[in-house]
Amino acid sequence: MRIAIVAPSPVPFCIGGAENLWWGLLEHINQQTPHQAELIKLPSPERNFWELIDSYKNFAQLDLNHFDLVISGKYPAWMIQHPNHICYMLHRLRGLYDTYHFTGCPETYNSNNQEITALQQLMRGNQGNRKALQEFFARLEQLRFSKKLPEDALQFPGSLIREIVHFLDGVGLAPSAIKKYAAIADNVAKRQNYFPIDSAVEVIYPPSHIKFFIRGNNDYLFTVGRLDNAKRISLLIQAMKYVKANIQLKIAGTGPDADDLKKLAGEDERIIFLGFVNDQEITSFYADALAVPYVPYDEDYGLVTIEAMMSGKPVLTTTDAGGPNEFVINGETGYSVPPDPQALAERIDYLYEHRDEAQQMGLTGRKLVAGINWENAVARLLGKSTPSTSIPEIKKRQKITVALTFPVFPPRGGGQSRVFHLYRHLASHFDIEIVSFTNPDQEVFRGEIAPNLYETRIPKSKQHQEQEWLIEKKVGVPITDVVMPELYSLTPAYMEALKTSVESSDFVVASHPYLLPAIQAVSNKPIWYEAHNFEFELKKSVLPNNPVGRDLLAATRKVEEECCLVSQLIMVCSSDDATTLHKNYHINLNKIIEVPNGVDLETVSYFELEKRHLKKKELGLDANFTALFLGSWHSPNLEAVRHIFKIAAKLPDVNFLVIGSVGLALRDQERPVNVGLMGAVDEATKDTAFAVADVALNTVTFGSGTNLKMLEYFAAGIPVISTPVGARGLGIEDSKHCIVIEVEKFAEAIAHLRDEELATKRTRIETAQRYVQEKFDWQAIAKNFIQDINYNFFDLTNK
């Protein structure tokens, strides 16, 4: 079916909730259904009487009969005439409907002007009659050029435009014109004069355009929205004057009332204005909030409520807030109180003093909104049966415990990213708990880092760390992982946490082999081995050839071999690794599943070459040529950066950026002046660096597995030069996806790429980006893994 989504394009243009809804609907239909959809928008100014009339007329004259179905949701787009028309209503022009009473104007226009009187008689005698539109618009054209109009006739908003818009909406939304009525919220469905009398209206809640929510700490209050009168941020600021708790209120957003709100906040240091924040930042702010206060006046729906609950946070709202009250259940998912500063303050103090209750409310809220997604919304909108959210004969979700030598969240390096994103997507099928080690100076952490994905993070004991340092001094390289088989028991808290977790688990994953002895000490549950690399070969290239180094290498081989032999299944990053493990440890190839490294396409921003140039110009970098390397503190990456130092010395007019913890390891090493070591950075900084890079490098010359950095480079649209080792296991073709060349020829290759024709470069970039989308999206990788284990190992769907 060919579907047209028809919507107004605001003038001046801005991106709001409506735009995100259309984009989300369009993407789901095109990507997840057999139908084809197109978003059709017309510029729709509404700054005065005649602009609004013209916008209605333009949609009334639009012919879209080459589509099988039309979906509209906002004025004046529903003026489109089509035999199969669904109205999925966001709202009418509220200033002429439910908030019109605030203007103080009469509901009907009274005048002795004969032209206006004739127009009013035409409207009143042709309610819902589309055949009257031709004469109606003709009479309006006469009015437009009339010199006898009363001064108040064109008042905006005003009585006459109110009558006109009500008439036009009555035509566009007449029962004879609409096959199905739906609304984004019950609050919209029940508003007076929004739908024809006695019409059936289905409430279909749309999801947020943000696809990924996490739960973190409970540190502050957070709210987000346009800083204008309707969102009533001033009410929250007034409430803070009565709040006794020392808790911050973080306010994200921009708008016309920003300066006035900052004056109202005065010198209260607890109130922080964040300004504009992007989606990734919003996700983080939600994650660490104690609660989300959201107090608009009569909001249509209120996606902030949904986003807060998806993040596992209680919502504090007001009884006149409209849509949010469809989800805020007092004492269960948050609180709804009168729109009074003191009433809000009292609940804020209560949530501050009762954090456990706040956390439980957040979990309840998340369960309440769990079914709000585009799959369900589109199925209901198109009249299909809603996908079942239950799985027959399952009494409980199965649980996996993952034992890990390093912390996972927030993911910075390649190993962290793999673990986080793989298990985040597997958590749609399993309950998953990661039990990880962290440094002794860190605190114990227990929390949900993504829906159904938990991390229990235990600091190494003082004795554990001291023993590790003693061994490290003898070998001169980091050995946190390889000494775990010997030292894990020196941190009893970790063993207790691991034991507690596996007691309720069905499977235990050794992510890397080094915690296999710890797993065997507390459990006899089935073990899965996640082999990130061929560890023996990797450590052989790192550890020194001295007695301690040789002992550690022998221990690595022993624990890796045992892990391969005792595991029920083995996950490898590439078919090459499967062959290597089979050849060295004589394991059965039938129990190996390839689970390749992937990329989280939701969080990587793609920059076309033209946009990349504009970004560089914006930052004053358009005269510079920048080469980028991304890597964690990992032996192959350390050697790779040393190669970059040599390359940089040959290309003094090229800037080299090294991002990631690998830079920390080499910060004291002498290097060319055109090499910058940025260290570990946040996602926003990383995005900026990716946006201004002219080429991304992978100078890795040894190791096993596959390189996540390659996939991130491709997904971001950066031209790539890689060694054969860096490109291994990914199916990458030289010249088609990137330039593959030995490290000794990198300087020459960079110089050549710098002068390469844009068309050639663009073709290679686009080919690589499509390849990543098709082959290496984490969601698809997780789905394929579940299918593989169901088909080849166990029927997990019926246990």
Q: Is the pTM of this model over 0.75?
A: no
* Band of residue 397 on the pLDDT scale cut at 50, 70, 90: confident
Tell which residue, 501, 490, 491, 484, has the closest CA to residue 446: 501
Residue 795 has pLDDT above 60, yes or no: no
* Band of residue 436 on the pLDDT scale cut at 50, 70, 90: very high
Residues with Cβ < 8 Å from 153, sequence gap 6 or more?
109, 111, 113, 116, 143, 160
- The pLDDT tens digits for 341-360 are 999 999 999 999 999 899 88
Amino acid at 399: K
Amino acid at 471: I
Average pLDDT score over residue span 258-285:
93
Residue 530 has pLDDT above 50, yes or no: yes
CA atoms within 13 A on the CB side of 27: 11
* Band of residue 388 on the pLDDT scale cut at 50, 70, 90: very low
First to last CA, the chain: 38
Peptide bond just before 526 cis, omega within 30 deg: no
pLDDT at residue 390, rounded to an integer: 33
Proportion of the chain in helix, strand, coil states, percent, rounded to 5: 45, 20, 40
The Cα–Cα gap between 698 and 689 comes to 16
pLDDT at residue 792, rounded to an integer: 56
Average pLDDT score over residue span 67-72:
97
Q: Which two tokens stand for residue 733?
A: 């073709």
| Host H or E run for residue 315 | strand 315-318
Residues with Cβ < 8 Å from 546, sequence gap 6 or more?
474, 475
Distances (CA, A) of 445 to 217, 420, 435, 448, 495: 9, 16, 10, 10, 15
Average pLDDT score over residue span 477-498:
94
The Cα–Cα gap between 765 and 667 comes to 32
- The pLDDT tens digits for 1-56 are 999 999 999 998 877 788 989 999 999 999 889 999 999 999 999 999 999 999 99
User: Is the Cβ–Cβ distance between 486 and 472 less than 8 Å?
Assistant: no
Tell which residue, 433, 435, 434, 483, has the closest CA to residue 463: 483
Q: Which residues of 398-424 are buried (b: 16+ CB within 10 A; e: fewer)?
A: bbbbbbbbbbbbebbbbbbbbbbbbbb
pLDDT at residue 396, rounded to an integer: 52
Average pLDDT score over residue span 81-94:
95
Average pLDDT score over residue span 594-618:
84
Radius of gyration for the chain, computed over Cα atoms and rounded to the nearest angstrom: 31
Residue 93 C-alpha from the chain's centroid: 31
Residue 395 has pLDDT above 50, yes or no: no
- The pLDDT tens digits for 113-148 are 999 999 999 999 999 999 999 999 999 999 998 888
